[in-house]
Structure 1
């Protein structure tokens, strides 16, 4: 089958949502499908008005073919960059065309039938960047086949008056696995994703780490993210910018605990990756965490923005090695249900049903 994925611009740095689409693209390509990635840069062209238009044109044109440098795409995958509204004459004909974000949903819904049956891959409730709740909910009712990655998103789509198919994200267990046995990790190391967006809750996680350092002087922390190192980050905290998958595997394997202080998250991919590498998981109750965890069995949860709750849960694991090992081992076993082969087969079946 000929399948096109329409993404909202290029991805210069690691982004979880893009990573999922790239995984599907690679795996579907290996299964014999003809895959095209359409980088729809229209919204990006309208942002950052202080940057000359020709500079942005050059950036997106070359960026579409150069990026992603942080993820290896199958060389057989086609890549196209579009700077204006999607025009049917400039899009490849195919069997399926898939919107991957609110920024692409409305335009994909209007493409000609020759471009393929329309699918909407929903990874979060995207009421940001000027998109209102009303417009987001209406995007689920555009007549496309809705696929969601989480049960809580499925409920929202249903409340908007539309149906959806649930296909959980997969984890590549060849990339993320245990190298340092869980029971042999002794250094008090905590790892965490840093992000500037308020809903990622990074400031609450960093505050928890500051206070834990006083309680546990030997504490080490490793943060990773796409922005530059925060200027106010304590010197004792290590920071890795634009970590590769190999670096992430090493970080997770060094960690006793992976901390996720998010306020709102569609799924929480890094938490699942860390569990696959044997880190005990401590998180805020950000919603999507329930897609792959069970409180008390493979994660310790506290309310979003509750710094004391994060500190208490981390302290429980630092002070009780048996509990930490049990939580991490349960997480390592339980996360195996997120199998990429199953997700790709489900995706294929959805496509076959609508053709």
Structure 2
């Protein structure tokens, strides 16, 4: 039996887009009769440079999270029971020997550094699944670019990430994400929606630029008093949210679909996105998209075709696009219909077959 091991950077107690994609692949490999392992661990790349107190504190933190089932391998995701879950503080040759016959997949920049050090797995069985340019939490651009030079096969989810790998002097296979057309679906006809019903994702990551979306929507509200915004996300409800906002924390499947089907326009203002799953999910449900023009969104958001796009940080341009979609039903219906048709080309069957063929070359 063929074996595949995904190395994840930590706990997954809340929905995260990158984990969601890995879990989709894990399920599909399990259904294709692969032995599938998910390694969760508490990585500390610079542990040798930290003082003893911090190292001990971090280790006991790992034990605490493991005991409290914070590494629960997809509690929010329907993960196959066939999948083997492994909990490690750090990966090393000793701990990885049992996976030496696996296709080993690094799923984040930290895990790429860890996998690169493992000698018991040959380089030709090492893969680096790149879902974003992960220069955050103190990591520099140089640190990320250096990971792209490691002798392992790179797989990226978007053209802009392929360009980053090539900038580092390496090559990568492009495998765009698939979407779950059973989880999300168009239930309310596009033409029947109230055009002033708008939705957006709320996230604490500054790269999502929720502040820019909300600033643009303030401008829209002045021109369209009937505007109502439904916001959803994993954090607690933001404080001082205007009364013309509704907020749903961690909506379940039915509620999530209802939000996107009751909505005419989906708004997103990220300055950087690996791919932008929420844009695609909103298209599946029939929303017209007004978003910023970044590398991730551009996989799906084609200006004046499948979305109206605006420059990053330009809240006035974003507001104008939202107003256009609200005031012009013909334009909104066209953009939403084009987006709904285009997003259907992003199937999981296509993504999985491409990913699998790269491993088995």
TM-score range relative to shorter protein: over 0.9
Give the TM-score normalised by structure 2: 0.92
Deviations 1:271-317 (A, max 9, x none): 00100110001001122111123110111011111111111001111
State the match for 1:232 in structure 2. Answer: 240
Query: Whole-Å Cα distance in 1 between the matches of residues 332 and 235 of structure 2?
Result: 31
Deviations 1:64-84 (A, max 9, x none): 55342211100111111111x
1:81-160 matches, cutoff 5 A:
81-83=87-89, 85-91=90-96, 92-93=98-99, 94-114=101-121, 117-160=125-168
Asked if structure 2 preserves the Cα contact closer than 8 Å seen for 1:175 and 1:246, the reply is no
Query: Whole-Å Cα distance in 2 between the matches of residues 101 and 66 of structure 1?
Result: 19
Considering only aligned residues, what root-mean-square deviation do their CA atoms show, in Å? Answer: 2.2
1:68 and 2:69 are equivalent in the alignment: no
Give the TM-score normalised by structure 1: 0.94
Range with greater deviation from structure 2 (296-305 or 215-224): 215-224
Total equivalences in the alignment: 352
Deviations 1:130-185 (A, max 9, x none): 21111111101110000000001101101101110000000011111101111111
In structure 1, the gaps of 5 or more residues are: none
What is the SS of the residue equivalent to 1:127? coil
Asked if structure 2 preserves the Cα contact closer than 8 Å seen for 1:252 and 1:278, the reply is yes
From 65, 79, 91, give the equivalent of 2:85: 79
Query: Whole-Å Cα distance in 1 between the matches of residues 221 and 58 of structure 2?
Result: 46
State the match for 1:19 in structure 2. Answer: 20
Query: Whole-Å Cα distance in 1 between the matches of residues 184 and 46 of structure 2?
Result: 36
Asked if structure 1 preserves the Cα contact closer than 8 Å seen for 2:271 and 2:312, the reply is yes
Alignment CA distance shift 1:278-1:327 (3 Å)? same
Query: Displacement of 1:186 after TM fit?
Result: 2.2
1:1-355 matches, cutoff 5 A:
1-43=2-44, 54-63=60-69, 66-83=72-89, 85-91=90-96, 92-93=98-99, 94-114=101-121, 117-186=125-194, 188-353=196-361
Alignment CA distance shift 1:160-1:7 (3 Å)? same
Alignment CA distance shift 1:51-1:240 (3 Å)? farther
In structure 2, the gaps of 5 or more residues are: none
What is the SS of the residue equivalent to 1:179? coil
Query: Whole-Å Cα distance in 1 between the matches of residues 154 and 354 of structure 2?
Result: 13
Alignment CA distance shift 1:105-1:55 (3 Å)? closer
Query: Displacement of 1:17 after TM fit?
Result: 0.7
Range with greater deviation from structure 2 (211-220 or 190-199): 211-220
Asked if structure 2 preserves the Cα contact closer than 8 Å seen for 1:264 and 1:286, the reply is yes
Range with greater deviation from structure 2 (331-340 or 39-48): 39-48
Query: Displacement of 1:114 after TM fit?
Result: 4.2
Query: Whole-Å Cα distance in 1 between the matches of residues 57 and 318 of structure 2?
Result: 41
Asked if structure 2 preserves the Cα contact closer than 8 Å seen for 1:70 and 1:244, the reply is no
